[in-house]
Chains A and B, each alone.
Chain A
């Protein structure tokens, strides 16, 4: 989901999650009304920063599995196994017993993704998952999301304002233009005129002889 700052990407995400009501019209997601399905998981921007040092990575992931159940019960061995497997799947098993505050930005993002994945969603919504990550961590998080998409069959929608790191893995993009949402495949989106209009600044799509694709300003 792309668009310049203030174009309503996060707002649209919140509508999909049922966190915001729509002023008019109706929204259906996975065939249901927003907020009525358990098959969607959400990773907000800078998610794990708030929890600080009070929780370990494993407790944070556990909330994705048991955080919605009432009553006082211990996490079962089977549940811990699932939590550990999920931490392995996001390549963060080695930090499972560390406090969130001691983790790097990349590790925190993995823990956040693990919490979202542990409930086995069909759709994963991420808000700016690459913000505040260095280039290496950006690449690793993208590879991870790509792998989860192909191996687990999870549909992934992410909000991003920088297209370049994503061009390799994108199927298509929703873009918010002039107050309307549009969808196009990658080839349709990666277009000089569209991107220039969308971001309000001259942009060029460059294709190298190796077949790499990137967007650059003038």
Chain B
């Protein structure tokens, strides 16, 4: 009888694998995504649109499987659906993404549609798994170029709108009364989020995206209340999760998404538990 023990087998050739060319793509791709997710994640937490981020990831699924059906690049399909969904959610206002029932219903339909497109295509079952759980190792050089462009765009725009976006994130009414274009910023932010979700889906997939976009930023905010530092810290935590996750995945022949998500969630849990005791002392 075969036992079903979990078997962690140490790969003695892990360093060779780490230094191979496909792993270099994964490392570069993971780094680009980690930075973008860290920058946008801070605002996702401050604005309270975590559920919208989660929903956008799922809205991307039919985009990805639909693109395969039409013979188009997966990134294109993801980007069109994520950014399209982002504009709709953004236009409805900041809290709209957290109207749980409506958003949840839309995302359930999106996942169903994704499954339908997938069933229509002949070679899309691997795409489905890749989109749901991510596959950093499958990242292509073309995708790296696209991701680098996304990252530059996201960072440039966030720098340009940093303060008004923070102001609008804290309270839309007050920001509007001071003539901050709140609605435009809301749509702009959701578009940026859509781009970051498109990137992040390749790394950890739609189902695990929360752990890359929201969790490290939430951890960082627990550790520091200073906006600049929190963003820097979220970025560092993301890089740590992605790099260490890739190394662990290679060492023990595990799925990278699993390792990345496990590290991010473990750090969050440790900070949360120790943070409680710190607060009690205050």
Q: Which A residues are within 8 Å of any B CB, using their own CB?
A: 14, 17-19, 35, 38, 40-44, 47, 50-51, 53-56, 59-60, 63, 66-72, 99, 102, 115, 119
Contacts and interface: CB of A to CB of B under 8 A. Distances in A.
Contacts, number: 85
A214 B161 CA distance: 49
A70 B174 contact: no
Interface in B130-180: 159-164, 166-167, 170-171, 173-180
A154 to B, nearest CB: 16
A60 B160 contact: no
B225 A68 contact: no
A63 B173 CA distance: 13
Interface residues of B: mostly helix, strand, loop or mixed? helix
24 contacts: A14-B173, A17-B176, A17-B177, A19-B176, A19-B177, A40-B177, A42-B174, A42-B177, A42-B178, A43-B174, A44-B174, A50-B170, A50-B171, A55-B225, A55-B227, A56-B225, A56-B226, A63-B166, A67-B166, A67-B175, A67-B180, A72-B159, A102-B282, A115-B174
Given A51-B170, A60-B170, A67-B166, A72 B160 contact: yes
A117 B263 CA distance: 44
Contacts of B249: none
A35 B164 CA distance: 16
Contact of B167 (A17, A35, A43, A67): A67
Given A51-B46, A54-B45, A63-B167, A18 B160 contact: no
B32 interface: no
Contact of A67 (B164, B221, B282): B164
Q: Please give me the 3 A-B residue pairs with the lowest Cβ-Cβ distance, nearest first.
A: A67-B167, A72-B159, A17-B177
A18 B175 CA distance: 12
A100 to B, nearest CB: 8
Nearest to A99: B225
